[in-house]
Amino acid sequence: MAALFVKILLLLGIPTQVLANLTINMPVGVTDVSQKIYTLHMLVFCICVGIGVVVFGIMFYAIIFHRRAAGHKAVKFHEHKTLEIFWTIIPFIILVVMAIPATKTILEMDDTQDSDLTIKITGFMWRWQYEYIGTKVSFMSDLSTPYEQIINRAEKDEHYLREVNNRLVLPINKKIRFLMTGNDVIHSWWVSDLGVKKDAVPGFINETWARINKVGVYRGQCAELCGARHGFMPIVVEAVSEADFATWLQAQQLAAEQEQPAHSAPATQTAPAPIPAAPATTPNTPAPDAPASAPSPNIQTPAPIAPVPSPNAPTAAHEAAVSPPAPALDAPAQISPVQTEQDKK
């Protein structure tokens, strides 16, 4: 029954696809899960429209024909057992029809087993940190929209507020597991094209996953109110081919290793890469009169990587990376950084 509805929807595929492109509907997305969510969304939407047409149709029939101005006299009735039982049971059956595919999808969404790659995402006030678990690659991703654009002194870019200095680069056709946590308050990592949204809760690690089917750049932003700059912590995912990803990751690794002997910094220093390089290019600078300087490099620069104390202890890097220096902002002292991380890799 449920499958039949989904099939009917797929037959209607062309108009619904058009609807999705007009940015008045949920994006179909580029993962199997996001496509399933979209189908489910359209299924429930169409059922609701159908019910609405019937109920409002009857109502407007009464409004037009059963009004005093049309000379109608009230007919006295106020109960009908069969009818009342009927309209209690029918909605229940419709709900079951919706619940079956919904249950299947939710089970699939929660199944993070057998992943090929794990990315740890940490929400900060107000930026994201990405760590490629099992490698030394780790970097901060900040909004790169110049402050002048936000205060309307410069023309806004096409991707205004949805551009970052360091993109999250991911391979396609791989099951990528995301581990999410928050450093200070609850954030929520949302990229609707991937069908992924999950809260990043300080002190806890949430899991979700995505397998991207298509090369491209996918944009999103923080979805949970996290303070003054909540609207200014975008997410940019760049999905590349597996080969490109391997090359990129290797370059990043190399950069990380080269940088390592140069410093003898303590283990807690995970470099939030772009901050010294391009200060005051983002609204993270709290003062409104802050000198907004050169536009930030909106390219995927290889981020300087966290120096680790010993190359023999890669896991130490992950633990250390959890508590990077506080962003140089007006944020209060951090609390409850994640103490331990049970990483399967």
Minimum CB separation of residue 46 from other proteins in Å reads: 11
* Closer residue to other proteins (CB): 226 or 308: 226
> Order of strands, edge to edge, in the sheet holding 175-182?
138-141, 127-132, 117-124, 175-182, 206-211
Of the pair 110, 257, the CB lying nearest other proteins is at: 110
Q: How far is the CB of 319 from other proteins (least distance, A)?
A: 16
Nearer to other proteins, 78 or 312 (CB): 78
Shortest Å distance, C-beta 3 to other proteins: 16
Ramachandran sector of residue 227 (left: φ over 0; alpha: ψ -120 to 50; beta: rest): left
Residue 56 C-beta: closest distance to other proteins, Å? 6
Distance of closest approach, residue 317 Cβ to other proteins, in angstroms = 22
Whose structure tokens read 């005093």? 68
Whose Cβ is closer to other proteins: residue 62's or residue 277's?
Answer: 62
CA dihedral for 262, 268, 273, 279, sign (positive or negative)? negative
DSSP code of residue 212: B
Q: How far is the CB of 267 from other proteins (least distance, A)?
A: 20
User: Based on CB atoms, which residue is closest to other proteins, 12 or 254?
Assistant: 12
Q: What is the DSSP letter of 162?
A: S
Q: Determine the Cα–Cα distance for residues 114 and 284; give it in Å rounded to an integer.
A: 38
Smaller CB separation from other proteins, 115 or 260: 115
Minimum CB–partner distance for residue 157 and other proteins (Å): 8
Measure the CA–CA gap between 111 and 130, rounded to whole angstroms. Answer: 22
Give the Cα separation of 101 and 2 in Å (integer). 7
> Which residue's CB is nearer to other proteins, number 162 or number 174?
162
Query: Between 195 and 272, whose beta carbon lies closer to other proteins?
Result: 195
CA separation, residue 212 to residues 119, 235, 280, 288 (Å): 14, 16, 34, 39
Residues in CB range of 30: below 8 A, 6 or more apart: 193, 194, 212, 213, 214, 216, 218, 239
Cβ within 8 Å of residue 148, ≥6 positions away: 154, 292
Smallest separation, CB 142 to other proteins (Å) = 16
Report whether the peptide linkage leading into residue 87 is cis, meaning its omega lies within 30 degrees of zero.
no
